[in-house]
Amino acid sequence: MAATSRFRPRTIAGAIVAAATIIGAVSIAFGFFGSSVEAFDSVGHFRAHLSVVVLVLALLSLAIRRPMAAVIGLVAAGVGLVTTLPFLLPPSGTAEPSAGTPVYSMLQMNLRFNAPDRSPALRVIADTRPDVVTLQEVTDDWRGAFEALKAVYPYQAFCGSYGVGGSGILSRRPFLPSSGLDVCEPKDGLVARSVDFNGQAVTLAALHLEWPWPHKHWQQIARLRSILPDLSKPVLLGGDFNAVPWSAAVTTLAGAGGLSVMRGIGPSWMNYDFPALPARWFGLPIDNVLASPEIAVLSIGTLAPTQSDHLPVLVRFTVARPAAPPPVAVVSR
């Protein structure tokens, strides 16, 4: 009896580790079915974090001779990491444009509606001098702050002020005259303008999605699915999606608009109640950039934090001009 009681705590601990490994593995699997069940997509946002935890648990299960749990955990963690690391790790190299191709830049920023100090965000814009800026959580106070940038960014568009503020665009390059291309969907956090990039029209859009299920995330996505296909190509869209790039939410919107989800941004958000956990290493990659095939991204990544709980994202890109139509053959008679 003494021997049995002595080993019972170890047996119970082993069972707990094995059970936790399997539960974590099942949670990772659920995240792959987010397009069918909204709640599963909310779980899937944490796939990368869950994969690391399950990997550790699987190794512990292996050490304490729980082979079944270990195998299940290792498979689930492996699949989870393979499908998330391309979005989390920086690109292996920086692409270079062909000679004579103009290179542009876009800065994507969630400003934080109640940022205690606006100057760090304004300083990032001044230091990077991007061609265009996409913004979220733009309050009336933030709009007033951007008045000081009118000399450099004379073209400004804002839409909505729901909840924590609306979406906005700043541009050093002219907005093209409205011809049905201007978009303002205040209920859905979307603003878009046609911008002149050296004679090439590009639809620039800023988007702010609400929090995922059980919030009204998917109702917003359902409405946007009928709006994004109408955006004139090329399209470059930056936003706070409140969703990770591998999620059903982001891939659904990208598919609806004929856009690709840009990889390599990495984690960009961390709740400001946890200042000791840097967003760049422990956060969620919910600030995303989508682009149509005509946009070639040369480099992409986060910048140093401002007073927001989101990191700024800087994108360098080129725009492919439409191919010239083939010459019309002249038939002599």
Average pLDDT on 282-307 reads: 96
Q: Which residue has the higher pLDDT, 274 or 170?
A: 170
Task: HSE, CB side, 13 Å, CA atoms: give it for residue 321.
Answer: 12
Q: What is the pLDDT of residue 6?
A: 53
Is the pTM here over 0.85, yes or no?
Answer: yes
On whether residue 270 sits in a domain, the answer given is yes
Look at residue 333 and tell me if it is in a domain: no
302 close to 312: Cβ distance less than 8 angstroms: yes
Asked if residue 246 and residue 134 are part of one domain, the reply reads: yes
Is 330 domain-assigned? Answer: no
Is 112 domain-assigned?
Answer: yes
Task: Give the Cβ contact number of residue 314 at 10 Å.
Answer: 19
Q: How many domains does the chain have?
A: 2
Residue 154: is its pLDDT beyond 80?
yes
Q: Do 108 and 121 form a contact (C-beta atoms < 8 A)?
A: no
Does a structural domain hold residue 306? yes
330: left (phi over 0), alpha (psi -120 to 50) or beta: beta
Residue 249's pLDDT band (cuts 50, 70, 90): very high
Q: How far apart are CA 143 and CA 146, in angstroms?
A: 5
Give the tens place of pLDDT for each residue, 54-110: 999 999 999 998 999 999 999 999 999 999 999 999 877 666 777 788 999 999 999
Distance, C-alpha 303 to centroid of its chain: 14
Mean per-residue pLDDT of the chain = 91
Residues 11 and 119 in one domain: no
The range of the structural domain enclosing residue 46 comes to 2-83
Distance CA 183, CA 250 (A): 20
Same domain, 119 and 218: yes
| Domain shared by 79 and 113, yes or no | no
Query: What are 13-39's pLDDT values in tens digits?
Result: 889 999 999 999 999 999 999 999 999
The reply to whether 52 and 190 lie within a common domain is no
Measured CA to CA, the distance from residue 247 to residue 206 in angstroms comes to: 19
Q: What is the pLDDT of residue 271?
A: 86
For residue 331, the model assigns a pLDDT of 54
Banded pLDDT at 285 (limits 50, 70, 90): very high
Length of the chain: 333
Reported as a pLDDT band with limits 50, 70 and 90, residue 332 is low
- Give one word for 105, left, alpha or beta, with left for phi > 0 and alpha for psi -120 to 50: beta
Domain end among 83, 102, 129: 83
328 pLDDT above the threshold of 90: no
> pLDDT at position 317, please?
97
Let me know whether 144 and 265 are in one domain: yes
Measure the CA–CA gap between 47 and 28, rounded to whole angstroms: 6
pLDDT band at 327 (very low <50, low <70, confident <90, very high): low
Residue 269 pLDDT level (bands cut at 50, 70, 90): very high
Q: Say whether both 69 and 116 belong to one domain.
A: no
Task: Name the domain boundary from 29, 52, 83.
Answer: 83
Residues 60 and 150 placed together within one structural domain of the fold: no
Same domain flag for 117 and 65: no
Q: Are residues 78 and 101 in the same domain?
A: no
Task: Specify whether 65 is located in the same domain as 207.
Answer: no
The verdict on 53 and 150 lying in the same domain is no
CATH at 208: 3.60.10.10
User: 54, 83, 112 — which closes off a domain?
Assistant: 83
CA gap 11, 25 in Å, rounded: 21
